[in-house]
Amino acid sequence: MLKRLFLILGVEALLLVVLAVIPLTVNNSFVLGLLTLLAIYGILLIGLDITVGYLGQVNLAQAAFLGLGAYTAALTVTRFGFGMPAALIAAAAVGCLFGGALSFPALRLEGPQFALSTLSFMALTTTALNEWESLTGGAQGLQVPRPPLFGVMLGPKGFYWLCLILLVFVWIAMRNLLSSQWGRAFEALRDSPIATDAMGIGTLRNKAAAFTLGSGLGGLAGGLYAFNFQYLQPQVFVYDLMVILLLGVVLGGRKSLWGAFVGATIVVLLPNLLSSRILFQAFSGLGFLLALTAGIRGFVTKTTRPFQAVAPVVAMGMLVVGGIFTSNTEDWRKAIFALMLFAVMVGLPEGLMGFAASFLTRLFRIPPPELPEPVPLDEVLVKKVTDGGPLLELLDLKHYFGGVRAVDGVTLTISSGAIHGLIGPNGSGKSTLVNVISGLYAPTSGGILLHGKPLAKGSLFKVAQRGLSRTFQNLQLFSELSALDNVMVAMKGIYRSPLPLVLLGLTRKNERRAQIDALTLLKMVGLMDDCRVPAKDLPYGAQRFLEIARALARRPDLLILDEPAAGLAQPDITRLLQIIRRIHDRGITIILIEHHMDVVSELCNIVTVLDHGKIIAEGEPGEVKRHPKVIEAYLGGTVEPAGQQYIEQGNIVPVPA
C-alpha cells in the first residue's frame, strides 16, 4: 500500500514541482506560453474525458463551452467590471448552465445522434458569437484586459502559476470524484443504462450531472483562455479545435487524469509540429515505427486482430509519405488530424497512458490497493420480519404490444417471505410481466401495489427506490467494472455525503464501508477471490452469481430472479440453489422465473403458470406440474387423462411407475 501511494502520489508531486519551477529556470516567453496553454487545456480535457471516457459518448461541444466561458469572462470584465475570481466563476457557471440545458435532450440520444446534437450546438454557438456583433464584436474580435487578482496585476509567470494551481485543484477534486460512487455510476451508465436504473442509480440525472460538470470545466478553461490571450475571435472555437481535443483525449488515454494531461501536451504541441515540416516528419516517422512495432507484436502474439494491427500502420505511413511530398503541412491539418485519430482509436484504444499504466504496473510490480475483510452476512443483510401477508399485488394487469396481449388481465398476490415461482412455455408472458412490475415497461392498464401502496409505473429507477430489485434474463452487468465495483455501485444506504465533501476526498469512511459490504456479498455467492476481475472476463456462471450479488446490494424487500439457471451447468445450478436458500433465509421475498422445473420444485412455496398472458394454474409445485391445462400449454395439443404425465425440465414426460 505504501509503495503504491509513494509511486503514484510521488510522481504527481514531482511533476507539479517541475512544472512550477520551469519559469524560474527558463526565461523564454514562447515556452511559458506553451506551459500556460498546457495547464488550460489540461482542465479542458479533464472535463471532456468525463463525457468521452466515462460516459462513452462522442462529445463535439467542448470547444463551444470553451468559447462560451471565454466570452463570459471577457464580457463580465469589460461590461460589468468583475474581478478575475468572479469572472472565472461566472465562466464556469455559464458552462454548467448551457451544459445542463443541452444534456437533457442530447443525452436521451445515443451514439451518432448524440454526437450530431453536440456538433449542432457547437455550430450554433459559433454562429451566435460571430453574428452578435454588438455584444461579442463578431469577426472583428474582442479585446480582453486581464483584471487584477485580489488587487495584484499578474504578469505571464504569475498567470501561469494561477493556471497551474487551478489545474492541481481540478485534478485533486476530479480524482476524488471519479474514484467515488459518482465515478462508478458514470462508468456503469456507459455499459448498461437499463441496469443502472434498475439498481436505483438514475440514468438520465447522472448522465446530466456528468455532462454538466464537464461543461463547467470547459467554461472555466475558457475564462483562463480569454485572460491568457487577451483577444477573442469566434473562428477559434470551431470544428478544427474540437477534432484536436478529441484526438488529445483518445491519444492520451480515456478515463485517466494522466491521459488528459498527456493529451493536453499533444494538443499544445501539434500546431507547432505542423508548422515545421522537419518536426512533422520526425513525429510521423516515430508514430509509424510505434504502430509498426505494436502491429507486429500483436500479430505474432495473436492478441490483435489483423485489421487492428495493419490499419494504424497504413494510416501513419500515409502521414510519413505526406510529410515527404507536401510542402506545407498546415494546409492538410484536417486530414492529418483525421488520420491520427483513426490510427489511435483502432490501434491504441486505451491510449498512451492506458498502455503505459499496464507496462509500469508490471515493471514496478505495483500492488493493487489492499481490501478490508468481509463481515458476517447478518451485518449486511439484516433478517427481515415476514408475516406471510400480501407484499406485492397485481390487479387486472395488462400490457399490449400493438395487437399482441403479452399480459392479459393478470391478478396475482405475492406473499411476504415466499419464494413464488412463475413458469410457462416460451412466449407465455413471464418476462413481460416482470418487466412491467419492475418498471421497464409501463402497463397498458391495471394496478400494482407494493406494501399496499401503488408502485410507480414505467420507471425502473422509482421502482428500485421502493425496495424492488431484479436480475435479467439477458445479463446486464457493468462489463468494464470489476466484480467488486459492480456490487459497490448498487450499494444502498451508504453514500450519503454531499458533493462538496466528495470533491474534497472526505468520504473515505463511506467507501470503506461499501467495500466491506460488497465483499461480504461476493463471498456469499463465491466470488470473493475474483473481486478484482472485470465482469466481462468472468465465466458465465460467475456472471450470473455476480448479478445476484449486485441485486442484493439494494437490500430489497422483493427480489426478482429472471431465469437465473439459464445456461448453467449442473454444479453451478447446485450452487445457485444454495445461494437462493441463503437469500430466502434473510427474509427476502423472491419471484423466481425459471424453466428448470427441478429448481422450481426444490425452492418454491407456490407456483403460478402463465400462458398467452393469462394465469392458467396456481398452487404448490407438485400440483401445478400435473395440472391438465399446464400440460396442454406445454404440449400444445390435447392431453392424456390427468395424472398420466407431468412437466420436467420444461418437457412433458410420463409419470414414473
Specify the CATH number for the domain of residue 572: 3.40.50.300
Question: Is-contact 66 221, C-beta < 8 A?
Answer: yes
Q: Among residues 61, 9, 35, which one has the least CA distance to residue 159?
A: 35
Residues 6+ apart with CB under 8 A from 114: 57, 58, 59, 106, 107
Most confident of the ranges 303-312, 341-350, 375-384, 510-519: 510-519
Query: Per the structure, how many domains does the chain have?
Result: 3
Classify burial at 491, counting beta carbons within 10 Å of its beta carbon; exposed 0-12, middle 13-18, buried 19 or more.
Answer: buried
So what's the pLDDT on residue 288? 84
Of the candidates 491, 493, 472, the one whose C-alpha atom is nearest the C-alpha of residue 481 is: 491
460: left (phi over 0), alpha (psi -120 to 50) or beta: alpha
Is residue 77 domain-shared with residue 128, that is, in the same domain? yes
Structural domain includes residue 499: no
Give the mean pLDDT of 458-474. Answer: 91
- Residues 40, 138, single domain; the answer is yes
pLDDT at 4: 54
The predicted-structure confidence for 322-332, as pLDDT tens digits, reads as follows 878 777 776 67
Q: Are residues 173 and 258 in the same domain?
A: no
Range with the poorest average pLDDT among 27-31, 208-212, 400-404, 629-633: 629-633
In angstroms, rounded to a whole number, what is the distance separating the alpha carbons of residues 128 and 122?
A: 10
* pLDDT single digits (tens) 135-146: 898 888 899 999
Grid coordinates of 571? 454444479
Q: Among 3-7, 153-157, 540-544, which stretch is predicted with the lowest mean pLDDT?
A: 3-7
Please state which of the ranges 46-50, 311-315, 330-334, 339-343 shows the lowest mean pLDDT: 330-334
> Counting beta carbons within 10 angstroms of the beta carbon of residue 122, is it exposed (0 to 12), middle (13 to 18) or buried (19 or more)?
buried
Q: What is the pTM of this model?
A: 0.84
Q: Does one domain contain both 202 and 179?
A: yes
pLDDT band (50, 70, 90) for residue 636: low
Please indicate whether residue 339 or residue 62 has the higher confidence score (pLDDT). 62
Which pLDDT score, from 0 to 100, does residue 576 have? Answer: 93
Express each pLDDT in 270-319 by its tens digit.
777 677 777 778 878 888 887 888 778 777 777 777 777 788 888 888 88
Instruction: Work out the burial of residue 303: count CB atoms within 10 Å of its CB; fewer than 13 is exposed, 13-18 middle, 19 or more buried.
Output: exposed
- Phi (first) and psi of residue 464, to 5 degrees: -60, -35
List the domain range (segments joined by +) for residue 105: 30-237
Rounded CA Rg of the chain: 29
Contact 559, 525 (CB under 8 A): no
Chain centroid offset of residue 581 CA: 33
Q: Stretch 143-158: mean pLDDT, rounded?
A: 90
Residue 305 DSSP SS3 = coil
Of 193, 214, 237, the residue that ends a domain is 237
The residue with greater pLDDT, 256 or 354, is 256
Instruction: Scan for cell 465495483, then name that residue.
Output: 485
Looking at the fold, whether 414 and 435 belong to one and the same domain comes out as: yes
Give 445's DSSP letter: E
Residue with the larger pLDDT of the pair 34 and 271: 34
pLDDT value at residue 44: 95
What's the rounded mean pLDDT across residues 32-54?
Answer: 92
Place of cell 485534478: 171
Neighbouring CB atoms inside 10 A of 325's CB total: 6
| Residue 353 domain-assigned (yes or no) | yes
Cα pseudo-dihedral 172, 175, 177, 181, rounded to 10: -150
Is residue 642's pLDDT more than 50? Answer: no
Indicate whether 487 pLDDT > 70. yes
- H/E segment holding residue 412: strand 404-415
**Res 479 pLDDT > 80:** yes
Task: Look at residue 244 and tell me if it is in a domain.
Answer: yes
- Are residues 402 and 258 part of one domain? no
What number is the average pLDDT over the span 476-505?
A: 89
pLDDT, tens digit, for every residue of 586-613?
Answer: 999 999 998 888 888 889 989 999 988 8
Same domain flag for 38 and 103: yes
CA end-to-end span of the chain, whole Å? 65
Confidence of residue 339 (pLDDT cuts 50, 70, 90): confident
Do 216 and 96 form a contact (C-beta atoms < 8 A)?
yes
Q: Which of 598, 619, 615, 622 is nearest to 607 (CA)?
A: 619
Model pLDDT, residue 228 = 94
Do the domain assignments include residue 271?
yes
- Whether 19 is in a domain gets the answer no
Report if residue 60 sits inside a domain: yes
Regarding whether 231 and 201 lie in a shared domain, the answer is yes
| Residue 411 cell numbers, joined | 391478478
pLDDT bin (cut points 50, 70, 90) of residue 357 is: low
Of the ranges 164-173, 301-310, 566-575, which one carries the lowest mean pLDDT score? 301-310
The set of cell numbers assigned to 44 is: 479542458
**534 falls within a domain:** no
pLDDT (0 to 100) of residue 7: 61
Give the residue from 171, 206, 237 where a domain finishes.
237
Give residue 367's pLDDT.
66
pLDDT at residue number 361: 61
In a 10 Å sphere around its CB, with 0-12 CB exposed, 13-18 middle and 19+ buried, how is residue 120 labelled?
Answer: middle
| DSSP string of 109-162, one letter each residue | S-THHHHHHHHHHHHHHHHHHHH-HHHH-GGG-EE-----BTTB---HHHHHHH
Report the chain's mean pLDDT, rounded to a whole number: 86
In this structure, the answer to whether residues 226 and 255 fall within a common structural domain is no
Picking from 367, 395, 418, the residue at the C-terminal end of a domain is: 367
Return the bridge partners of 560, or none: 470, 591
Assess whether 404 and 352 both reside in one domain: no
Write down the pLDDT at residue 15.
85
Does 202 score more than 70 pLDDT? Answer: yes
Alpha carbon distances (Å) from 345 to 131, 179, 450: 36, 25, 48
Do residues 53 and 38 share a domain?
A: yes
When pLDDT is cut at 50, 70 and 90, the band that residue 560 belongs to is: very high
> Are 192 and 270 within one domain?
no
- Indicate whether 14 belongs to any domain: no
In this predicted structure, what is the pLDDT of residue 635?
58
User: For residue 108, what pLDDT is reported?
Assistant: 81
Residue 560: which of 439, 471, 447, 487 has the closest Cα? 471
As a whole number of angstroms, the distance between CA 384 and CA 118 comes to: 48
